[in-house]
A and B are shown apart, each in its own frame.
Chain A
Amino acid sequence: MRGPQDYGGLPAGPVDPVKHEHVPTHWEKTVDALMMLIFDQRRQLARVDESRRMQEALGEDYHKFPYYERWLQAVSWLMLEKSVFTQEELDAKQAEVRARLEAERDG
């Protein structure tokens, strides 16, 4: 059983060191920071191996998700698993944020 993350030796395309270069965006750095903060000495809310388990749980979606969207999904699932917030709280917050972002976009 090969997990979706286990890429070593599989067929793949050329590496393009020019096109596959990318300066991290502020959004990506924010997701990175959230992950680092839940791991840090003060909080210790999760371990890196737990984050990897969550990303591997994406299954086929692992290949489709951009890197930091995988991280974001892992942070969200870990915080739910550890009852830092509940699914109900997350659903309510997402509805509120969706309305806010749509209003900003249309405004």
Chain B
Amino acid sequence: MDNKYSPGDKVRILQRNQPGHVRTPIYVRGKTGVIERIVGSFPNPELLAYGNSGLPYKMLYRVNFKQSELWPDYDGPSSDTLEIEIYEHWMAPA
């Protein structure tokens, strides 16, 4: 399975409402981060949650965000970051 993004790429997490079980928390939606690493391809949890096989697999990445991007009022040092795993269908090039 090919990865659409590579480490260092800037991505924006989609601001999307989606019913059902999803693993993209609201606080990262619409935010811009940088691909830290490619984790690999995994069954899609949005389908696994309904007893489905999870196919087709989805590429999963670790995305690094500046805390100040996530929280405009973040009061720690500007170097503080947060990393989270995001499936490819939840991101777009930024």
List A residues at the B interface (Cβ < 8 Å): 1-2, 6, 8-9, 46-47, 49-50, 52-53, 56, 81-82
Find out whether the CB atom of A1 lies under 8 angstroms from the CB atom of B51: no
* Dominant secondary structure at the B interface: loop
Find out whether the CB atom of A6 lies under 8 angstroms from the CB atom of B25: yes
Complex interface bits, B9-33 against A, C-beta within 8 A gives 1, otherwise 0: 0000000010111000111000000
Q: Taking A50-B49, A50-B50 as contacts, is the C-beta distance between A56 and B26 under 8 angstroms?
A: no
Q: Taking A53-B20, A56-B21 as contacts, is the C-beta distance between A2 and B26 under 8 angstroms?
A: yes
Q: List 16 A-B contacts (CB under 8 A).
A: A1-B17, A1-B19, A2-B26, A6-B25, A8-B25, A9-B26, A46-B51, A47-B48, A49-B21, A49-B45, A49-B48, A50-B50, A50-B51, A52-B49, A53-B20, A81-B51
Contact partners of B20 in chain A: CB under 8 A? 53
Residue in A1, A46, A49, A82 with the greatest tally of chain B CB atoms within 10 Å: A49
